[in-house]
């Protein structure tokens, strides 16, 4: 999981920029007449952000684009602000494109497994249409994370996933993803959500919710499989001259590398390998020598 800089755009300026793309006079006037409604919604979002209580913001059911959400603005009109005028506009599209590249192509939800291909609504626009063009609600995202999340959002604080712009730095600077190296053939790495003991219960549950929502245990395990095979191959070849202590130091160096996110699959995998003494002393040319005794034929 990666923390991103909060967008620099003024929410009301973005709203007006999108409205400026509206061709129909009546529709444009309706948006402008409800400017104060959008301003109020921004205040409510900021209040929810201070307590990390986004789940409590007013939401609507799916469908029914004709239902009135704020003032005289319907759900359909609010959703159109995003699809027709932010994504489909000209001047407003520049903001979308800047948001899209703000994470250097690495998805913040999954720690960079996927490449960014779209902008995700942290609060889904189908349920929270008034925030369809709120910059704080628009996060660069890979297809897998966007698809896996679908249009649902938590109904309790403990089930809220992490917000890359607005959540506490501890979620992004402290280790809360753990791993265990399994003495099987082939060797595997199993990932778990393991927040620090001193974290609050809410923070622990939110980390678990994020870990589960984005299916990180399975996605991390798949990613680690190929890299682990490469490490083992290196150990049998170019790294064979290292003592077990030197090999452990090599693994630990990768585990501490700032080139990887602290809770990303790669850094976590190396962290686990650096703590598995049997892995550091294993003779990989003889698989049975490092298998669990119960697994040896």
Provide the mean pLDDT of the chain. Answer: 94
For helices 201-213 and 216-236, the axis angle rounded to 10 degrees is: 80
Q: Return the pLDDT at 150.
A: 64
Q: Return the pLDDT at 294.
A: 59
Distance between CA 57 and CA 153 in Å, rounded?
Answer: 11
Cis bond leading into 2, ω under 30°?
no
- Tokens in use for 157? 């604080």
What is the rounded average pLDDT of the residues 229-237?
A: 95
Contact at 8 Å (CB) between 168 and 213? no
- Tokens in use for 115? 């490449």
Q: Return the pLDDT at 290.
A: 79
Which value, to the nearest 10 degrees, does the dihedral of the CA atoms of residues 25, 27, 33, 36 take? -140
Extended beta strands in the chain, E state: 68-70, 73-74, 116-121, 138-142, 177-182, 188-193
Report whether pLDDT(115) > 70.
Answer: yes
> 250-270: per-residue pLDDT in tens?
999 999 998 889 999 999 999
Report whether pLDDT(152) > 80.
Answer: no
Q: Which residues pair with 142 in a beta bridge?
A: 116
> Cα-flanking dihedrals φ and ψ of residue 176, to 5°?
-130, 0
Q: Return the pLDDT at 262.
A: 94
For helices 25-33 and 35-51, the axis angle rounded to 10 degrees is: 50
Distance between CA 277 and CA 257 in Å, rounded?
Answer: 20
Nearest to 263 by CA among 196, 205, 201: 196
What is the rounded average pLDDT of the residues 82-102?
A: 94
Contact at 8 Å (CB) between 78 and 129? yes
Local structure of 128: helix, strand or coil = coil
Block residue for tokens 């201070």:
50
Block residue for tokens 């986004």:
54
> 161-188: per-residue pLDDT in tens?
999 999 999 999 999 999 999 998 889 9
What percentage of the chain has pLDDT greater than the value 90?
A: 88
What is the rounded average pLDDT of the residues 124-148?
A: 94
Q: Return the pLDDT at 289.
A: 77
User: pTM here?
Assistant: 0.92
Contact at 8 Å (CB) between 33 and 111? no
What is the rounded average pLDDT of the residues 112-116?
A: 91
For helices 35-51 and 11-19, the axis angle rounded to 10 degrees is: 150
Decide the pairing of beta strands 177-182 and 188-193: antiparallel
Burial of 201 (0-12, 13-18, 19+ CB in 10 A): exposed
Local structure of 25: helix, strand or coil = helix
- C-alpha distances (whole Å) from 190 to each of 3, 7, 234, 242 are 24, 35, 21, 26
> 43-88: per-residue pLDDT in tens?
999 999 999 999 999 999 888 899 999 999 999 999 999 999 999 9
Q: How far apart are the first and last CA of the chain?
A: 40
Contact at 8 Å (CB) between 116 and 135? no
Residues with Cβ within 8 Å of 95's Cβ and at least 6 positions away in sequence, in order, are 9, 14, 17, 86, 135
Local structure of 116: helix, strand or coil = strand
> 6-51: per-residue pLDDT in tens?
999 999 999 999 999 999 999 999 999 999 999 999 999 999 999 9
Q: Return the pLDDT at 9.
A: 96
Q: Return the pLDDT at 63.
A: 83
What is the rounded average pLDDT of the residues 132-140?
A: 98
């Amino acid at each position: 999981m990666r923390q991103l800089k909060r967008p620099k755009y003024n929410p009301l300026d973005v709203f007006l920029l999108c409205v400026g793309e509206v061709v129909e006079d009546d529709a444009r006037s309706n948006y402008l007449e409800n400017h104060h409604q959008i301003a109020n919604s921004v205040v409510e979002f900021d209040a929810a952000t201070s307590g990390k209580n986004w789940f409590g913001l007013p939401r609507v059911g799916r469908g029914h684009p004709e239902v009135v959400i704020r003032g005289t603005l319907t759900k359909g009109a609010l959703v159109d602000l995003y699809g027709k005028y932010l994504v489909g506009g000209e001047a407003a599209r520049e903001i979308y494109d800047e948001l899209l590249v703000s994470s250097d192509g690495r998805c913040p939800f999954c720690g960079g497994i996927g490449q960014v291909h779209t902008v995700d609504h942290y609060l889904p626009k189908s349920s929270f249409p008034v925030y369809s063009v709120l910059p704080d609600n628009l996060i660069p995202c890979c297809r897998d994370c966007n698809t896996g999340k679908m249009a649902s959002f938590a109904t309790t604080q403990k089930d809220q996933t992490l917000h890359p712009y607005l959540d506490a730095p501890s979620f992004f600077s402290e280790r809360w993803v753990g791993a265990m190296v399994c003495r099987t053939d082939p060797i595997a790495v199993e990932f778990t959500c393991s927040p620090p003991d001193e974290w609050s219960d809410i923070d622990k549950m939110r980390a678990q919710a994020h870990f589960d929502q984005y299916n990180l245990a399975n996605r991390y395990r798949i990613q680690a499989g190929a890299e682990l095979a490469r490490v083992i191959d290196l150990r049998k070849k170019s790294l064979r001259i290292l003592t077990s202590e030197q090999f452990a130091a090599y693994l630990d160096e990768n585990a501490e590398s700032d080139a990887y996110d602290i809770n990303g699959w790669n850094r976590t995998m190396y962290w686990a390998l650096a703590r598995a003494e049997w892995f550091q002393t294993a003779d990989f040319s003889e698989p049975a020598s490092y298998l669990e005794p119960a697994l040896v034929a």
